[in-house]
Chains A and B, each alone.
Chain A
Amino acid sequence: MRVTVLGLAEDFLSPVKLPVFRSGVRAGFPSPADDYLEGNICLQDLLIEHPQATFLVRIEGDSMREAGIFDGDIAVVDRALTPTHGKIVVAVVDGDFTVKRLVYRGCRCFLVSANPEFPDIEVSACSENAVWGVVAHVIHRC
């Protein structure tokens, strides 16, 4: 596997840089690095395309492990994305949130696990209401 170093991630995920503490720092010696302080990588930007539509959801269980989603992971769910065939989605089944892959077979629509131990769930044609949001990314602690 090839790994490319992209740069420093911002150590704190605030999208706003604070002008106030910059002037506060001036009291001491100016750091020669100050001139180069710009453009840290913001994880927020990387993971969140539609901030108003994005919600974090905790995963519980192992039925999606073959899709790389594990117990305790945090799913970044983007409700602005269209739930098309093959997308991993958070869906509502019997009033509970569940995470599955959305699969169309002909005119029928299924929620499919990424683990052979779990059976597929067929959802009625109007999957529109069953899908709560599309999983855009997963945050996994190694």
Chain B
Amino acid sequence: MIALADGNNFYASCERVFQPWLQNTPIVVLSNNDGCVVARSEEAKALGIGMGVPAFQVRGVIEKNGVQVFSSNYTLYGDMSRRMHGILAQEASAAEVYSIDEAFLDFCGMADPVGHARKIREKVRRWTGLPVSIGIGETKVLAKAANRLAKRHRREEGVLQITRENGEEWLAQLPVGDVWGIGRAHAERLTAQGIRTALDMARWEPRKARQGMGVTGERLILELQGTSCLGIEEMAPKKKQIICAKGFGRPLSSLEEIGEVLAVYVNTVAEKLRRQKSVCGTLQVFLLTNRHRPDQPQHAPSITESLPEATNYSPELIAHARRLLQRIWRPRHDYHKVGIVLLDLGDNVQQELFAPKRNHDARMRLQATVDALDGAVRWGSMGLRNTMSLRAARRSRRWTTEVTELPVAKAR
């Protein structure tokens, strides 16, 4: 048995945890360059604001309804994601981080899966303030379907299990386009053939699906029928790493100068990473003063942090590395070496086996590509100093990771 836990309106919910005055206010979060809507609270959805729409198109609705607009704050979302995934991992014998806000959990042999899911949901809500929905089924595809149905039909309770007994009833309520792995084009073709719901699909002969949709289609049908083809893939062990660490030639003490050198090193390792077609999930940055000068103040800190999402994209890695550097660097020290280690390397392939996990994913990827090009252009033309000056006019504070941006509690 497998469960899929998914943060509800994840980015919007993260914003709300630290801004309780937004409790019932509609919220939207915009993409990197404040271009498109990438997250909406329930209230914003109710106003008809679509996923992925350009912000300027919904300006009227936003102003008329007092919708709160945020630039994406990936530092915050990444930290909240890390917390959520940490809790989920404690609650299952195995957990697979599927995306920033989703994880598959191994519920094998669980006596009361619904009860346990309720417990998990309550724990995540209490510990982090984030609402999650949990779908349970015999297979990953069914867990994903159950999650989708939970969001639609079990809003309050947030937990839904598809069993052999109730399976037909629930799958009949799920449009075929909402089945994991069925993209829009496929959904249209299937609907034209009279296959409108997940149940219609589940009634297919698996071998027939193979003719139209290949092996993945066959597996999809089997999974819908309750035969598990996809196991829980836990995080791969950290067996590979890429390092770049060199002395400076002359001692450096300013954060800016060390940051520039670090950026060059990160770029070097990122190129290696891309050459071997990998992505990196964790960064380690370290600094060294000169050990052979005991007369000078010594400092040899290091810091390791997981990225919200694995990447091999230089500007992103540079930005992360610089933030880590900022946290360990101390003024009035002559450093003679800085180093970067890329850890937690994985293959740069789609995690999804079938196809994009949601329709909007394609749009978000397109946005990411545009952002990427933008970043690349900046990077070449503007030099290292302006690498990551993305437009983020309405970004909320980094409530959980910056000591100067902590939430304030009034003692008045």
Contacts and interface: CB of A to CB of B under 8 A. Distances in A.
B127 A80 contact: yes
Ranked nearest first, the 7 interchain pairs of A and B with the lowest CB-CB distance are: A95-B21, A18-B302, A61-B411, A53-B127, A97-B409, A52-B83, A12-B301
A59 B411 contact: yes
Contact of A97 (B303, B341, B408): B408
Interface string A105-125: 000000001000010000000
26 contacts: A11-B301, A12-B301, A17-B302, A20-B243, A20-B286, A24-B288, A25-B291, A25-B300, A52-B128, A53-B127, A53-B128, A55-B399, A56-B400, A56-B406, A57-B406, A57-B409, A60-B408, A60-B411, A65-B411, A69-B411, A74-B403, A79-B127, A79-B129, A80-B127, A97-B408, A97-B410
A14 to B, nearest CB: 5
A63 B292 contact: no
Interface string A47-69: 00011110111111111110001
A126 to B, nearest CB: 14
B328 A24 contact: no
A71 interface: yes
B411 A99 contact: yes
A57 B341 contact: no
A95 B23 contact: yes
A51 B127 CA distance: 10
Contact of A80 (B82, B126, B288, B299): B126
B84 to A, nearest CB: 8
Contacts, number: 122
A81 B399 CA distance: 20
B304 interface: yes
B341 A63 contact: no
Contact of A90 (B21, B245, B409): B409
Nearest to B401: A56
B20 A132 contact: yes
Given A12-B301, A18-B302, A28 B288 contact: no
Chain B, interface SS category = mixed
Given A20-B245, A21-B288, A57 B126 contact: no
Interface residues of A, number: 43
Contacts of A63: 411-412
A16 interface: yes
Given A16-B304, A58-B407, A52 B86 contact: yes
A51 B87 CA distance: 10
Interface of B: 20-21, 23, 82-84, 86-87, 126-129, 243, 245, 284, 286, 288, 291-292, 299-304, 328, 337, 339, 341, 399-400, 403, 406-412
Contacts of B128: 52-53, 79
Contacts of B129: 79, 132
A127 interface: no
Interface in A82-99: 90, 92, 95-99
A87 B302 CA distance: 36
B302 A99 contact: no
A62 B411 contact: yes
A14 B410 contact: no
Determine the main DSSP class of A at the interface with B: mixed
Contact of A98 (B301, B341, B411): B411
Contacts of B82: 52
A65 B301 CA distance: 36
Interface in A18-38: 18, 20-21, 24-25, 28
Contacts of B292: 28
Contacts of B341: 20
A102 interface: no
B158 to A, nearest CB: 17
A101 to B, nearest CB: 11
Given A14-B302, A21-B339, A59 B409 contact: yes
Contacts of A95: 20-21, 23
Contact of A57 (B291, B339, B408): B408
Contacts of A58: 406-409
Contacts of B328: 12, 14
A113 B127 CA distance: 25
Given A52-B87, A132-B20, A60 B409 contact: yes
Nearest to A82: B126
A20 B339 contact: yes
A49 B284 CA distance: 24
